[in-house]
């Protein structure tokens, strides 16, 4: 196997029942124990090397218990074979086995080297161990594999390489690579490529081999370039926006990460995630392992793996982001005519913050990262793309149980554009993370669609002064600032420029179940200076709406 790339198997001849070796498939579910003692159930699509009664080997992959040789072995049968790469690859994946033999068979070996390798093994046994060859070779080759026939045109070679290669050079290279020239004319060659070159079956494969020998460095850069002009479309704009936001986040102290789209089955199996149920997972038919068994429904778990990796290596203060695709399956959308409708791919932007916001600075006391830092970064992403939160978009409490507390940014139709919050301890425990993690998931497809449809309007900076007014409001404990902001913007859409919360108080001297919010409102008219009467009317209307809708009281 090491010398010629031809795996072999040797049997104790006295242990082969019926003294027969038969290659066939076994009934599905047939129990089989490999040489390492692990039990498997054979599929009816697994090729097996059998004796008169039972399977002895999974062909090209692994020998079975009792199929090897031992200290007591006196008579040996050598088996050398060629197997179809697809069958071996599928059998190896089906049983989770990867061996030196399967590695070679999966990639295609030389079908004409089977007998040669067998003879070499027999000669070595004879010379090194004093063996005696007691029978002729039994060769079963029902459908001989022919060399690959390829038609190669000189014009095609030159156009693909980008340089005119002399015809004699082309012929010299293909001949040196053991390709036979069957026919030749002024336009090109008809070649027979050796059967062991399973990666050379098309004209472009032959050109690749020619260029490999000719030398990539010998193909000069042309003095002129040809190009076709295209109009920028939505995909180009999305890519531009992605670069824009990436630069903004990096400028804000974030680092970009990239994780595998394949993820662990354990993250979804039995996890009872209301946003990411197991039945909506896109499964891999032949996974390499359970760690790569699903396409990810969310970017979250890849980010948590990154955080755990860094925290375990004394890097606990992290600001990271990732652009990546997520995948879901919805059986109800699938039809017989269009099975692909059941699968959905969306691009998302994930942001993770954990650890200290400031640490070890002489100018600033140590400060932990917070949810509000994350929220500010999310709002800055929306603002940079020209998408205003508070108009067509509203902020609501989230219901995703991956968070212990969360907020959603939704459109009027209830579609979630972004969700952010504090990761629940149950999720962090799976990764061995003991510090709080703040996570935001932005539906990039939905956000860029809003950004592309938004109209950019330029306005002259106002020459007239802005007016600031503060209200101290007594509210129910469950009332959130987002509700106050939403009511304020609905009350005054033209003159209200900003709404900011600058103080929260709960405790002594307040009724039970109440809290106090101190809110600042900025009013400005771009055409004239606002007078007291106009300001008072707006504030009174605002107070009335807050009282009516939130049962607010002025302190």
pLDDT in tens, 361-417: 999 999 999 999 999 999 999 999 988 887 678 888 888 889 999 999 998 888 999
Cβ pair 280, 297 in contact under 8 A: yes
Please write the tens of the pLDDT for every residue from 14-41. Answer: 989 888 899 999 999 999 999 888 999 9
Residue 12 burial (CB count, 10 A): 17
Q: Side-chain half-sphere of 53: how many Cα atoms within 13 Å?
A: 4
Longest dimension (CA), the chain: 116
What does pTM read for this prediction? 0.65
R_g (Cα) of the chain, nearest Å: 35
Cα–Cα dist 546/552, whole Å: 6
Structure token digits, residue 132 = 């005696």
Task: Give the contacts of 388 (CB within 8 A, at least 6 positions apart).
Answer: 382
End-to-end alpha carbon distance in the chain: 87
Distance of CA 20 to the CA centre of its chain: 49
- Scanning the structure block, which residue is given the tokens 């002259």? 460
Q: Side-chain half-sphere of 464: how many Cα atoms within 13 Å?
A: 12
Residue 535, sorted as left (phi over 0), alpha (psi -120 to 50) or beta, turns out to be alpha
Query: Which residue pairs, CB below 8 angstroms and at least 24 apart, start in 123-129?
Result: 125/76, 125/78
Task: Give the contacts of 3 (CB within 8 A, at least 6 positions apart).
Answer: 117, 120
Residue 168 burial (CB count, 10 A): 8
pLDDT of residue 245: 96
Cβ pair 364, 355 in contact under 8 A: no
Cα–Cα dist 125/256, whole Å: 58
What is the SS3 assignment for 174? helix
Cα–Cα dist 209/537, whole Å: 82
Cα–Cα dist 320/175, whole Å: 54
pLDDT of residue 539: 93
Cα–Cα dist 187/205, whole Å: 18
HEC string of 332-401 equals: HHCCCCCHHHHEEEEEEEEEEEECEEECCCCCCCCEECCHHHHHHHHHHHHHHCCCCECCCEEEEECCCC
3-state helix vs strand vs coil in the chain, percent to 5: 35, 25, 40
Cα–Cα dist 555/516, whole Å: 8
**pLDDT beneath 70: ranges in the chain:** 391
Residue 140 burial class via C-beta count within 10 angstroms: exposed 0-12, middle 13-18, buried 19 and up: exposed
């Amino acid at each position: 196997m090491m010398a010629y790339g031809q795996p072999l198997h040797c049997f104790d001849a006295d242990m082969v029942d019926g003294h027969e070796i038969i290659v066939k498939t076994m009934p599905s579910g047939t129990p089989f124990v490999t040489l390492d003692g692990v039990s498997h159930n054979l599929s009816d699509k697994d090729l097996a090397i059998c004796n008169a009664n039972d399977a002895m080997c999974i062909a090209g992959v692994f020998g079975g218990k009792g199929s090897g040789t031992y200290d007591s072995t006196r008579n040996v049968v050598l088996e050398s074979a060629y197997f179809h790469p697809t069958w071996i690859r599928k059998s190896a994946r089906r049983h989770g086995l990867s061996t030196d033999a399967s590695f070679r068979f999966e990639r295609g070996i030389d079908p004409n080297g089977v007998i040669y390798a067998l003879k070499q093994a027999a000669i070595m046994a004879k010379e090194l161990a004093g063996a005696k060859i007691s029978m002729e070779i039994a060769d079963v080759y029902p459908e001989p594999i022919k060399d690959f026939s390829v038609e190669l045109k000189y014009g095609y070679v030159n156009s693909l390489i980008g340089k005119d290669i002399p015809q004699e050079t082309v012929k010299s290279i293909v001949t040196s690579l053991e390709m036979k020239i069957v026919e030749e004319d002024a336009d090109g060659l008809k070649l027979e490529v050796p059967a062991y070159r399973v990666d050379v079956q098309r004209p472009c494969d032959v050109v690749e081999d020619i260029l490999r020998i000719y030398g990539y460095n010998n193909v000069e850069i042309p003095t002129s370039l040809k190009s076709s002009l295209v109009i920028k479309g939505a995909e180009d704009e999305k890519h531009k926006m992605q670069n824009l936001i990436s630069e903004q986040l990096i400028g804000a102290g974030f680092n970009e990460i990239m994780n595998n789209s394949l993820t662990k089955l354990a993250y979804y199996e039995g996890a009872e995630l209301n946003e990411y149920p197991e039945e909506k997972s896109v499964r891999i038919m032949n996974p390499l392992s359970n760690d790569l068994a699903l396409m990810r429904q969310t970017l979250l778990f890849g980010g948590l793996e990154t955080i755990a990796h860094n925290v375990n290596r004394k890097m606990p203060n992290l600001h990271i982001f990732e652009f990546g695709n997520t995948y879901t399956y919805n059986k109800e959308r699938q039809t017989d005519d269009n099975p692909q409708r059941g699968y959905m791919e969306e691009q998302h932007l994930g942001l993770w913050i954990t650890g200290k916001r400031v640490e070890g600075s002489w100018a600033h006391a140590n400060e932990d990262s917070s949810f509000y830092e994350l929220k500010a970064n999310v709002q800055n992403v929306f603002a940079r793309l020209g998408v205003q939160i508070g108009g067509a978009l509203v902020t609501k409490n989230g219901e995703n149980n991956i968070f212990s507390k969360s907020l959603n940014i939704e459109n009027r139709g209830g579609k979630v554009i972004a969700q952010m919050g504090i990761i629940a301890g149950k999720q962090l425990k799976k990764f061995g993370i003991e510090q709080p993690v703040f996570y935001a998931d932005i539906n990039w497809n939905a956000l860029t669609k809003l950004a592309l449809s938004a109209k950019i309007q330029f306005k002259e900076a106002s020459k007239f002064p802005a007016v600031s007014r503060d209200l101290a409001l007594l509210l129910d404990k469950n009332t959130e600032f987002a509700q106050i902001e939403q009511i304020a913007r609905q009350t005054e859409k033209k003159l209200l420029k900003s709404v900011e919360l600058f103080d929260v108080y709960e405790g002594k001297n307040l009724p039970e179940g109440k809290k106090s919010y101190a809110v600042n409102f900025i009013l400005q008219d771009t055409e004239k200076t606002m007078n007291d009467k106009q300001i008072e009317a707006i504030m009174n209307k605002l107070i009335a709406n807050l009282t009516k809708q939130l049962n607010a009281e002025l302190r």
